[in-house]
Amino acid sequence: MAGTRVEYRCAVTIRSAKRAAVRAGTVAALTAVPLLAAGSAFATDFQGEDAGPRLSVLTTIGIFVGIPVGLFLVITFLVMLPGWVKGDSNRAEIGWDAKSAAKTEAAAPAEEKTGTEAKAGAASSGTGGASGSW
Amino acid sequence: MIESAQIQRAIKIAEKRTGLNWSVFVGDLGAEPRAEALNRHGALGPAASESVLLAVDPAAHRLEIVTGTRARRRLDDRSCALAAASMAGTFAVRDLDGGIARGILALVEHARRG
């Protein structure tokens, strides 16, 4: 076609087309590789489930009851351990723990009591409140 | 004179919502903190019966909450004990102003309407 001249004012269009072709080829290749590799897996007679050997009653109880109960006991022990070692000072201060309150009463003179006992003493004078330490 | 804006704001809220007089003492409470706190509460004069005093001895790690005769009707000892426990927990992490302010606001939440 003599005399006909096509001008591409923007060369980016050609490069975009090449780039799109390369991109499509890459995507197709990457998609095909896993599918081809998976073919060998489908070649086996694996039906999607494998029951395995039958569990005995004891084993079943051990797995579904023993392990959860064991974990519960271990976690409970770890939570309670600091309180057993150091004592629950907050409860001793505010007088909710009967054992701690009894220990405080036995160990300290009357005016040094903390918690409920101190409040009861203050109540006789009409005032109230609470004590604490940290 | 209280310089902490946090405590000042808490006291302002407390006085507005409860109508009680709120005082904070931070300093040495001596060998008998409770007795010293009661003395300081009594020194508030006629207003003592409607006053709540929070006395904190940072050096001795002790705190006392004293409620006057009328204030006690609206703020029982159990509520004070809960606030004291809350304050002690905050003091333990070295936040004195925050502990006092939190204690005041905890007491306000427990105070009955007058």
What is the sign, positive or negative, of the torsion defined by CA atoms of A120, A126, A129, A133?
negative
Whether residue B85 lies within 8 A of chain A, CB to CB, comes out as: yes
- First CA to last CA across chain A, in angstroms? 99
Assess whether pLDDT exceeds 80 at residue B86.
yes
Q: Return the pLDDT at B112.
A: 76
Give how far Cα B51 sits from Cα of A87, B45, B63, Å: 34, 10, 17
pLDDT band at B94 (very low <50, low <70, confident <90, very high): confident
Using a CB-CB cut-off of 8 Å, the residues of chain A touching B70 are none
Highest mean predicted confidence (pLDDT) among A20-24, A123-127, B98-102 = B98-102
The shortest C-alpha distance from B97 to chain A (Å) reads 15
Selected residue with higher pLDDT from A29 and B86: B86
pLDDT band at A20 (very low <50, low <70, confident <90, very high): confident
pLDDT single digits (tens) B42-71: 999 889 999 999 999 999 999 999 999 999
Q: Return the pLDDT at A82.
A: 85
Using a CB-CB cut-off of 8 Å, the residues of chain A touching B77 are 116, 119, 123, 128-130
What ipTM, to 2 d.p.?
0.81
Residue of A nearest to B94 (CA): A134
For the beta carbon of residue B105, count every other beta carbon within 10 angstroms.
Answer: 18
**Contact (CB, 8 A) for B51 and B23:** yes
Assess whether pLDDT exceeds 50 at residue B24.
yes
The shortest C-alpha distance from A132 to chain B (Å) reads 5
The shortest C-alpha distance from A134 to chain B (Å) reads 5
Choose the mutation target among B72, B73, B77, B100 for the interface with A, i.e. most A CBs under 10 Å.
Answer: B77
Q: Looking at residues B68-84, what average pLDDT do you find?
A: 91
Helix (H) or strand (E) holding B12: helix B5-18
pLDDT single digits (tens) A35-89: 676 666 666 666 777 778 888 999 999 999 999 999 999 999 999 998 888 766 5
